[in-house]
Amino acid sequence: MSIKTYAVAIRDVLAQEMRRDQNVFLMGEDIAEQGGIFGCTRDLLQEFGDKRVRNTPISENTFVGAGVGAASVGMRPVVELMYMDFLYLAMDQILNQAAKMRYMFGGKVKVPLVVRGQQGIGRGNAGQHSQSVESLLMHIPGLKVVCPSTPADAAGLLRTAIRDDNPVVFIEHKALYATKGEVPDDPEFSVPFGKSNVVREGKDVTIVGNYLYLGKALEAADLLEKEGISAEVIDPRTLVPLDTDTIVESVRKTGRLVTVHEAHRTMGFGTEIAAQVTEKAFKYLDAPPARVGAKMCTLPFNLGLENAVVPQVADIVEAAKSVLYRM
Amino acid sequence: MTKPDKKYSRETLLNIYTVMKQIRLFEETAFRFFQENKLRGSVHLCIGQEAISASVTELLDDDDYITSTHRGHGHGIAKSRDLKSAFAELMGKQTGFCHGRGGSMHICDLDKGNLGANAIVGGGLPIAVGGALAQKMRNTDRVTVPFFSDGASNQGTFHESMNLASVWKLPVIFVCENNGFGISVPISQSTSVKDIAVRASAYDMPGYVVDGNDVFSILNAFEKALSRARAGEGPSLIEAKTYRWKGHWTGDPEVYRTREEVAAWMEKCPIKRFREYLLSNKIAKEEELDAIDEQAAADVAEAAQFALDSPEPDPAHVMDGMYVEGAYPI
Amino acid sequence: MAERIIMPKQGLQMTEGTILEWLVPEGGAVTEGQPLFKMETDKLTITIDAPVSGTLLKIVKEEGETVPITETIAIVGAPGEDVSALLADAAPEAPDPGAPPPQPVPEKAQQVSATGAPGQRKFITPRARMRAEELRVGYESIAGSAPDGTIIERDILQAAAAAPRATPLAKKTADISGVPLEGVVGTGARGKVVRQDVLHAAARKPAPAAGERDLQPMRGMRKIIADRMKASLDVTAQASHRISVRMDKVREAREALDKSVGYNDLIAFATVRALMDYPQMNAELTDEGIWRKNFVNLGIAVALEDGLIVPVVHGAESMTLHMLSEQAAALARKAREGQLLPEEYAGGTFTLSNLGMFGLDEFEAIINPPEAGILAVGRIADMPVAVDGRVEIHPVMKLTLSYDHRLVDGAPAAQFLARVKEYLENPYKLL
């Protein structure tokens, strides 16, 4: 076990997997000498050389597409998008090619591609560099969507992603790169997809959140505890596949669900979870599920405005109390 | 300095000098504010590249369009000649060009013909093509100038936009500011040609390589492209070779270049060179230029103070501007 | 081979039954076809015969327990046989003895609406409903603590905790015998009060000494009423019909009249018209034969502090609604003030009795001879009504007609009652 940052945890798994499998290689903007603008590929050029750590031109649609092609003939490319906002520039290659290729070709091809990069608020990057894309990707059949919230999950889920034979979009969060946590040293350590993590046990209300909002949900849980409310906090970890069983089981116990995320509230992944819980545990609900998420507003540059768009800890507390009729 | 192909008025030349100076001081102030934690977000400075914005926009009118980039302070200031709105936007204030919604990378001023700065590399090029299409369809002789970078010249949108502007003979003057790097990646690693301007031949339009730190080198080529565009003969591509003195953003570790390389380019300072030209050709006296410098410093200081004193946008109105009809409660 | 005795389903609607009495003690011999236990459902009380012969090895459900159909209630087999496997099978479905005790659903017919205005919809969350069913807590009278009075889980849990720990049968027995449950010592599982405990408590209740009794003299009006009612039942052949009437239109009509008339006036008016349509119901048995009258003297029962009197609106068949209303009001006032003249409470041809104001849904009245019938009027309450295959809530009133079968047969009595309903549901036909 070592204490690592989220960024280093990712870098180390990339290195371990490149050592293990010659087919694993990296492509992306500023990933070679620069080591990625968030340092997730730092020093990999020195160990693996410029053939396996490739700087690309600023041509997202093209270099993601090159990853799709290489994967379809047996390579295991890990392609970095500097900002997940740039995913939209490569959307054709991701949703029309990578996601659909195997199905359209009658199940005769594998596309073991990982597209990874970071998203989210935290650096005042305004509308085109702060978005959350995971909910949108959940709507595309053929992709897996992974959302690590801790250094250990980043490491364990990335290894699973690289070894997965399907296209995986591995979404990191820029504001988590510097967070530290214990990560197993075992080069085989992995976290399976489709297994939600009950981060904190409670009995009165179930709060589901990820990324920064896992931490904020835990903060909210502390505040709620002072008011005699015991909150269970669950991190879904992967959105495709999504482990609703763990969440449903929790709601059977608590009778109340609050979902929270930085992504926009409308059609955010919390909407899907709320719908599934309502379908699977309707009679256990003691209140309608509450969804907490960003307003349907472009992420503004100004910090005060940004805070007005994304949820705050107080919003989570309020939602939890509202489903407990404790307003 | 290149010799000018035509004679420019003293006023035109001093305007160019003034704007270059304003941009330089504006960027230096922004850099200082960032270091003093008065600015948030990424701030991409164009120090060293001022001649291109100042020269090109001096030959344009308000109803000629530009599009701009993440490194767009210079374009915005030069086109609008409005330091206060630019600085206020950098600080995310209500009085900024975009009322704090855009910030450093999204300066926009439709009244002065700035169709907006774009934080997607190459994102502004198709928009510029659309602006020029409108100008042509309205039978005007107006032109659109998309500013973009060497990095953008590797985007699909660059090639698609060049082709469309050419096949439709649109009044687009593609101005590529080649500063040598896409963040950390040198152009040699990212770009298949030494001179981006040669790509013009693939789209059957004139391509010019100019010294981006030399006002007359820029003006000479731009005059030709402008005549061709205003005459309805179609687009041109100008590659202005230049260099950014600062990192990609404030805080860039700059592992991709040496201090010596930066120092060498600073010797080719476009403002210093133009000032020497103005003096040696007796267009302006030392004290006149000093007075311009002082006024520019005062104007920038006033703009910065204006930004500092301006109100924050009201979070109660955070949704304003999402839709023409106003905000929807969703 | 031991066998399970289950709670047998009796009739299509039965979902559970209450064991009243085991007729064979545990360990006793059971013979197939001989009575084994008595039980009751919401519809009937019945003695169930043993389906097999053997020894009653184990009584799983004690007297007073309410058991869902098909659940194991006892085991019959050979003496000494191991029944643990069968008991284990039965266990998962057995109620948790530690759970809060069940509570009977209050019987609406006997209860004045306790939860605000009639027709106010009751909201309950899915979880609270589930919990209420598990704990058999009736939630109709619980005030919900969430917005809109919505009942949530904690309301159900609180209600369950507050209820005395007693079996439904014990509670019912306590209600009937007037024994407060709070004072009864329970001998059931974990101190739960069973029926036998209540009976014991009732038996212990000392009878008051003669000097302490509250005695009312049997004379005057009390005596007259007693004699007349008894005579009525002795002489007439009383039968009754019941019908439900939707009161939406009457309510609307009353609103249209600015509430200048009461519901009872409208009901009286409709009754008069129906009596004119069906004179069989407006008849009297005389020595000469059955006299069908072509006039209506409508008696309208008025409750008094110490009894009952029936003032009569004479010639009601020729009155307008407002005249009828005014006459009835004037007579009722005089009745309460003790000012009625003898002719004002004599000569009636038919009687109307309304106890809806006491919250009764329906009741049966005794005919006032020599009249041929009496119409008993219950309260107007919002009830679920099937409309075009959907359940809707509408104001409904129940009418019970007692008629003298000597004068009138079931069919014409039914037609009369249906006509009253028709008028009330289509008040414009009264115009």
The DSSP secondary structure of C186-241, one letter per residue, reads P-SGGG-B-HHHHHHHHHHSPPPPGGG-------HHHHHHHHHHHHHHHHS-EEEE
What ipTM is given for this predicted complex?
Answer: 0.76
Location of structure tokens 């020894």? C55
Q: Which of C125, C145, C147 sits opposite A285 (nearest CB)?
A: C125
Q: For residue C93, what pLDDT band results from cuts at 50, 70 and 90?
A: very low
Provide the pLDDT for residue A74.
Answer: 83
Look at residue A191 and tell me if it is in a domain.
no
Return the residue of B nearest to A61 by Cα.
B156
Q: For residue C105, what pLDDT band results from cuts at 50, 70 and 90?
A: very low
Location of structure tokens 């005769």? A108
Does residue C91 surpass a pLDDT of 90?
no
The single-letter DSSP state of residue A103 is: H
Does residue C147 surpass a pLDDT of 60?
yes
Residues A171 and A316 in one domain: no
Provide the pLDDT for residue C164.
Answer: 63
Provide the pLDDT for residue C181.
Answer: 67
- The residue type at C386: A
pLDDT, tens digit, 9 for 90 and up, residues C364-393: 999 998 899 999 999 999 999 998 889 999
Does residue C205 surpass a pLDDT of 80?
no
Give the residue numbers spanning the domain of A210.
197-323
Dist. CA C151–CA C127, nearest whole Å: 10
Where do the domains of chain C lie, and which CATH numbers do they carry? 3-93 (2.40.50.100), 108-204 (no CATH), 220-430 (3.30.559.10)
Provide the pLDDT for residue C189.
Answer: 61
What would the two tokens of residue A24 be? 């694993």
Chain centre to alpha carbon of residue B161: 19
Look at residue A233 and tell me if it is in a domain.
yes
Look at residue A192 and tell me if it is in a domain.
no
Question: What is the average per-residue pLDDT within B36-62?
Answer: 94
Chain centre to alpha carbon of residue B54: 8
Provide the pLDDT for residue B154.
Answer: 95
The single-letter DSSP state of residue B259 is: H
Look at residue A221 and tell me if it is in a domain.
yes
The set of chains that have 3 or more CB pairs under 8 A with A is B, C
Provide the pLDDT for residue B251.
Answer: 76
Residues A109 and A231 in one domain: no
Q: For residue C342, what pLDDT band results from cuts at 50, 70 and 90?
A: confident
Residues A203 and A255 in one domain: yes
Whether residue A126 and residue B41 make contact (CB cut-off 8 A), yes or no, is yes
Query: In this predicted model, which residue has the larger pLDDT, C90 or B46?
Result: B46
Dist. CA C270–CA C377, nearest whole Å: 13
Chain A neighbors of C130, CB-CB under 8 A: 283-284
Residue B246 three-state SS: coil
The conformational region for residue A228 under phi > 0 = left, psi -120 to 50 = alpha, else beta, is left
The structural domain count of chain A equals: 2
Q: For residue C43, what pLDDT band results from cuts at 50, 70 and 90?
A: low
The single-letter DSSP state of residue A300 is: P
Dist. CA A13–CA A8, nearest whole Å: 9
Dist. CA A231–CA C237, nearest whole Å: 70
Highest mean pLDDT among B133-142, C59-68, C172-181, C195-204: B133-142
Domain end: A153, A183, A213, which one?
A: A183
Whether residue B184 and residue A57 make contact (CB cut-off 8 A), yes or no, is no
The set of chains that have 3 or more CB pairs under 8 A with C is A
State phi, psi for B103 to the nearest 5 degrees: 80, -165
Location of structure tokens 């009390």? C222
Of the candidates C271, C268, C293, the one whose C-alpha atom is nearest the C-alpha of residue C280 is C293
Provide the pLDDT for residue C13.
Answer: 67
Does residue C116 surpass a pLDDT of 70?
no
CB neighbour list of residue B329: distance below 8 Å, 6 or more residues apart: none
List Cα–Cα distances, B247 to A74, A193, B135, B262, C2, in angstroms.
39, 40, 37, 10, 90
Highest mean pLDDT among B272-276, C68-72, C312-316, C329-333: B272-276
Dist. CA A292–CA A61, nearest whole Å: 33
Cβ–Cβ under 8 Å, residues B52 and B218? yes
Of the candidates A322, A324, A259, A319, the one whose C-alpha atom is nearest the C-alpha of residue A286 is A324
List Cα–Cα distances, B307 to A32, A168, B84, B96, B321, in angstroms.
39, 45, 7, 8, 21
Look at residue A162 and tell me if it is in a domain.
yes
CB neighbour list of residue A268: distance below 8 Å, 6 or more residues apart: A135, A259, A261, A291, A293, A294
Question: What is the average per-residue pLDDT within B223-238?
Answer: 98
pLDDT of chain A along its 327 residues, tens only? 999 999 999 999 999 999 999 999 999 999 999 999 999 999 999 999 998 999 998 989 889 988 988 898 889 999 999 999 999 999 989 998 899 888 888 777 889 999 999 999 988 899 999 999 999 999 999 999 999 999 999 999 999 999 999 999 999 999 999 999 999 999 999 999 999 999 999 999 999 999 999 999 999 999 999 999 999 999 999 999 999 999 999 999 999 999 999 999 999 999 999 999 999 999 999 999 999 999 999 999 999 999 999 999 999 999 999 999 987
Cβ–Cβ under 8 Å, residues C36 and C23? yes
Burial class (CB within 10 angstroms; exposed 0-12, middle 13-18, buried 19+) of B136 = buried
Chain B neighbors of A59, CB-CB under 8 A: 154-156
Does residue C109 surpass a pLDDT of 50?
no
CATH of the domain spanning B42-79+101-280, picked from 1.10.1240.10, 2.30.30.50, 3.30.930.10, 3.40.50.970: 3.40.50.970
Dist. CA B172–CA B136, nearest whole Å: 10
Query: In this predicted model, which residue has the larger pLDDT, C429 or B82?
Result: B82
Question: What is the average per-residue pLDDT within C4-32?
Answer: 84
What would the two tokens of residue B113 be? 């013909």
Does residue C106 surpass a pLDDT of 50?
no
Q: In what order do the strands lie in the sheet with C3-6?
A: C3-6, C72-77, C54-59, C29-30
Dist. CA C107–CA A1, nearest whole Å: 66
A1-23 burial: b if 16+ Cβ within 10 Å, else e: eeebbbbbbbbbbbbbbbeeeeb
Cβ–Cβ under 8 Å, residues A233 and A260? no
Size of interface A-B (CB pairs under 8 A): 123
Pick the catalytic residue: A80, A129, A261, A264?
Answer: A129
Residue C44 CA neighbour count, 13 Å, CB half: 10
- The domain spans of chain B are 42-79+101-280
What would the two tokens of residue B36 be? 């003093």
What would the two tokens of residue B141 be? 């002789």
CATH number where A7 lies: 3.40.50.970
CB neighbour list of residue C245: distance below 8 Å, 6 or more residues apart: C396, C397, C398, C399, C420, C421, C424, C425
Whether residue C147 and residue A325 make contact (CB cut-off 8 A), yes or no, is yes
Whether residue A302 and residue B256 make contact (CB cut-off 8 A), yes or no, is no
Query: In this predicted model, which residue has the larger pLDDT, C101 or B32?
Result: B32
Contact of chains A and B by CB distance (3 or more pairs under 8 angstroms): yes
Residues A175 and A291 in one domain: no
Whether residue C153 and residue A283 make contact (CB cut-off 8 A), yes or no, is no
Cα torsion angle, C72, C77, C80, C84, sign: negative
Does residue C248 surpass a pLDDT of 70?
yes
Residue A170, strand partner residues:
A116, A146
Residues A145 and A78 in one domain: yes
Q: For residue C287, what pLDDT band results from cuts at 50, 70 and 90?
A: confident
A69-96 burial: b if 16+ Cβ within 10 Å, else e: bbbbeebbbbbbbbbbbbbbbbbebbbe
CATH number where A242 lies: 3.40.50.920
Which residues of C are known to be catalytic?
405, 409
Dist. CA C276–CA A256, nearest whole Å: 63
Does residue C168 surpass a pLDDT of 80?
no
The single-letter DSSP state of residue A23 is: T
Dist. CA A270–CA A273, nearest whole Å: 5
Residues A282 and A174 in one domain: no
Dist. CA C245–CA C267, nearest whole Å: 11
Q: For residue C99, what pLDDT band results from cuts at 50, 70 and 90?
A: very low
List Cα–Cα distances, A320 to A82, A313, B308, in angstroms.
35, 11, 39
Mean pLDDT of chain C: 82
Instruction: Give the best residue of A30, A302, A307, A315 to mutate against chain B (max B CB count within 10 A).
Output: A302
Residues A253 and A310 in one domain: yes
Of the candidates A175, A97, A94, A189, the one whose C-alpha atom is nearest the C-alpha of residue A136 is A94
